Structure 1
Amino acid sequence: MQRVVSKLRTALANPRAALPYVRSRLRVARGLAALSRYRLASLYVADLLGGTDRFESYVRANEGDRYPELDVLDFRMRVDALDEGLSRELLRDGVREPLATEAYRRELTRLESERGPLTVVDAGANIGYFALQYPALSRYVGGNGNEDEHVEGDGNDEKREGGEGEVIAVEPLPSNAALLEGNVALNGFEESVSCHRCAVGSSTTRTTMHVSTHSNWGTVGDTMGMDHFVDEIEVPVWRLDDLLRDRAVPLDSVDAVRMDVQGYEYEVVRGMADLLDRGDLGLLFLEIHPWYLRETGEYDAFLSTLEAAGFEPVFVADGRTGVLRSEKASYTERELDVDSLDELRSVDFTTEVVLRAG
C-alpha cells in the first residue's frame, strides 16, 4: 500500500497524470464488480480513496476470493487479485497489449496456414495469457478460415480437423506456474500445452530470480533498486536448446518462439543458438528492453544475432506500461514506424516486436 500512496502523491504533484491513474484503478474495480466480486470492488475503491490496505488484508484472509475467473478473448483465465501486474490489466481491460496480441494472433494464423499445426515455445509464460492464444486459435476455424471472424468466439465456428499443434510454456516463478497450469486445465488444453517450471538462459544452471509485486516483472537481471521487487528465489535455468532436446522436441519442429524475460533477452537468444542455426523458426515475438541490454553492453550484439538469423520486423509497438510517466500518462500501445532491426538500435524504451523469418 505504501507504493500506492507514493503513486498517488506523484499523481497529485503531476495533475495531468492523476486522472488517468485514478481511472485505471476504477476500471479494475469495475472489472471486479462485473464478476460479482462486489466486496472486492468496494474495498479496492476504498483503498484508493483512503490510502488503506483493506483490500489486500481481506483477500489474504479469504483465499477463496483471490482468484477470480474471467473471459479473455476466446478462452478463460483465473487471475490473482493481489497481482499488481498482468492480472490487474486483465481485470481492467480483458486483454493485454491489444495491438501486439492482434499482430501475434495474425502471424500465428498466417504461419499455420502455410505449415499446418505449429509448435510454439513461450518463454516467460507467466499465468498463460500468450501461451493460450495459439491453442485457442487452433481450436476453431471460421467459415472461410479468416482468423478475424472467430477471435470473439461467436459460437458458429466449426471444430478444426486434425492436430491442434503444441505450446511449450516455460515459467520459473512457482505462483505464476501454478496459475498457468490451472489455466491450461481450465480450457481443456492439457494435450496441447506442456508447462515447464524453469527459466531459460545462456547456460543450464541455477540462478537467483527477483520476485515483483507485478507477476510479469520478475527478473534474473539487476533490479536497479526498484521498489516493486519484494523477494528472491532460486530457480533452475536451461538453455532452450538443451530444454528442447531433454523433452525430445526436434529443433526443426519448432515454428515460433515468444519471450518476455525482462531484459534477459540476449541470454535466452544465446541459449537457442542451435535452434536459430539448425531449426526452421518462422516467427519470433519478443518484448525487448533496450535500456537494460545497453546497460550490459549487449543490445547491438542481440539485434545483430536476430539479423544474422534472417528475421525482419512486421510489427513494433511502444511497450511501456508505466501509468505515471513524467511526460504523460499512457495506458495504450502505440505502433511504431520501424521497418528494420537496424532502426531499433536508436530506440531506448521497451518495445513489443513481432519478427518474421525472411
Structure 2
Amino acid sequence: MNRFLTRIKKHIKSMRGAMRVSGFGAVFLIYCTKIPLIKKLVKDSLVKARVLGNTMYLKVSDGGLHRRLILRGIREEEHTRQIRDNIKPEMVGIDLGANVGYFAVMESTLVGPRGKVYCIEPEPSNVRLLMKNIFANNFEDRAEVFQYLIGDHNGSEKLYLSEFGNVHSVSAARNKKGSIEVEMITLDKFLEQNELRPEDVDFLRMDIEGYEVMAFQGMQNLLNSKSPFKIFMEFHPSYYPEWGWTFEKLLNYLESYGFKIVEIVRDRETDKNGKNTRLNMKNPTIKEVMEMQKNTLADGCQALLERF
C-alpha cells in the first residue's frame, strides 16, 4: 500500500511539473494519446512548451524527444550542462542532426546576436519544425537552417525513418518505418559553400545515430585545422560495425587529430548488476572509456572533446 501511495505521489508531482512547462491542455493531450484513435487524430498537432527559458513547438503524438520536453522541459541533463558551460557569446558553431532544435535553440541563446549557429538536419518534417522553433525565439539573426545529411561524400543517401523523430538513421537495420532519399554532402563542402574557413568554426555538436564515423571522413579540412575546437557529441558504439568501425577505433582516430576527451557523461548508467547511477568521467583515457563501455548495459554516451 505504501509503495502504491509513493508511486501516486510521484506521478502527481511529475504532472504538476509538466503543467508548469506546457500547461494543462498539453499534458492532458499527452495522456490521451495512449488511446490509439486519439493518437491518430492528433498526429500532427503541436503544443507550445517552455524549454530552458525558450519557446519550442513540439508534436504531442511523438513519444520520444517531444514527449520528454513537453513533460519535463529538459533532456540529457548532463550533456545540456556541458554545452551551457562551454559555449560562449560570439562563437560560431555547427549543429549536425539538429532535429527540431532543442540544442540548436540553446546554442543560439548562448552565442548571442554576434554569434552564429549553422543547423543541419536531413529529415523534412524535422527541418520545418526546426525553422519554426528558430523563428519562435527570433533567432533568425544568428541561426540558419540547412536540409542535408552530412557524410563522407557528396551525392544522395537513404535515410531510414523511425516512429520517433529523433532517431531516424542511415542504418537500415535499426528503423523499419520506410525510407526517404536525402541529399548528402561532406562538411568540408558545406564550409566551402558558406565561405567558412575551418578556423572560423569554434564548435561542432553532433548526434547522428552512429553515422558520425562516416561524417568525420568528410571533414578533413576541419579536423586538420590547428585552431582550438570543441566537439559535443553522442557516441553510438553498437552502430559502428555496420560501417567497419569500432568505438575504440573512433576514439583513436579523433585523438590522432589532437582531440582529448574532456568529459564523458550519461544521465542514466546501468551496470551489469542492474544498478542505476549517473556517469561522469573527467579527462578519461581511451582505455578507461573502453573499460566503462564493457561494464555497462547502455549503448551510447555523450562527450565533450577538445583540441586546445
**What's the TM-score once normalised by structure 2's chain length?**
0.85
- Residue of 136, 159, 178 corresponding to 1:186: 136
CA 1:34–1:272 in 2, change beyond 3 Å: closer, same or farther? closer
- Residues 218-274 of structure 1 show CA distances to partners (whole Å, capped at 9, x for unaligned) of 0012324x5xx4121110011000011012122210110000000111101111111
* In structure 1, distance between residues paired with 2:260 and 2:16: 40
Aligned length: 296
- Residue of 344, 349, 356 corresponding to 2:289: 344
- Residue of 96, 100, 103 corresponding to 1:127: 100
Deviation for aligned residue 1:25: 12
CA 1:34–1:134 in 2, change beyond 3 Å: closer, same or farther? closer
Residue 31 of structure 1 pairs with residue 14 of structure 2: no
CA 1:190–1:326 in 2, change beyond 3 Å: closer, same or farther? same
* In structure 2, distance between residues paired with 1:262 and 1:103: 20
CA 1:234–1:341 in 2, change beyond 3 Å: closer, same or farther? same
**What's the TM-score once normalised by structure 1's chain length?**
0.74
Matched residue of 2:46: which SS?
Answer: coil
Map residues 164-313 of structure 1 onto 2, 5 A cutoff: 164-224=114-174, 229-278=176-225, 280-299=227-246, 300-313=248-261
Deviation for aligned residue 1:280: 2.6
Structure 1 residue runs of 5 or longer lacking an equivalent are 1-18, 140-162
* In structure 2, distance between residues paired with 1:222 and 1:319: 27
The letter of the residue matching 1:318 is: R
CA 1:209–1:333 in 2, change beyond 3 Å: closer, same or farther? farther
Runs (4+) of structure 1 exceeding 6 A deviation are: 23-26, 319-322
CA 1:122–1:94 in 2, change beyond 3 Å: closer, same or farther? same
**Match of residue 94 from structure 1:** 73
Residue 335 of structure 1 pairs with residue 280 of structure 2: yes
CA 1:34–1:241 in 2, change beyond 3 Å: closer, same or farther? closer
Structure with more of its chain in strand, by fraction:
2
**Match of residue 71 from structure 1:** 50
CA 1:320–1:263 in 2, change beyond 3 Å: closer, same or farther? farther
**Match of residue 9 from structure 1:** none
CA 1:102–1:241 in 2, change beyond 3 Å: closer, same or farther? same
Q: Which one scores higher on RCO, CA 8 angstroms, separation ≥ 6?
A: 1
Matched residue of 1:125: which SS?
Answer: coil
- Residue of 37, 42, 59 corresponding to 1:80: 59
* In structure 1, distance between residues paired with 2:198 and 2:82: 25
* In structure 2, distance between residues paired with 1:81 and 1:30: 17
Deviation for aligned residue 1:46: 5.3
- Residue of 284, 290, 314 corresponding to 2:262: 314
Q: Is the 8 A contact 2:104 2:117 kept in 1?
A: yes
CA 1:33–1:130 in 2, change beyond 3 Å: closer, same or farther? closer
The letter of the residue matching 2:78 is: L
Matched residue of 1:304: which SS?
Answer: helix
Q: Aligned Cα RMSD in Å?
A: 3.0
Q: Is the 8 A contact 1:338 1:344 kept in 2?
A: no
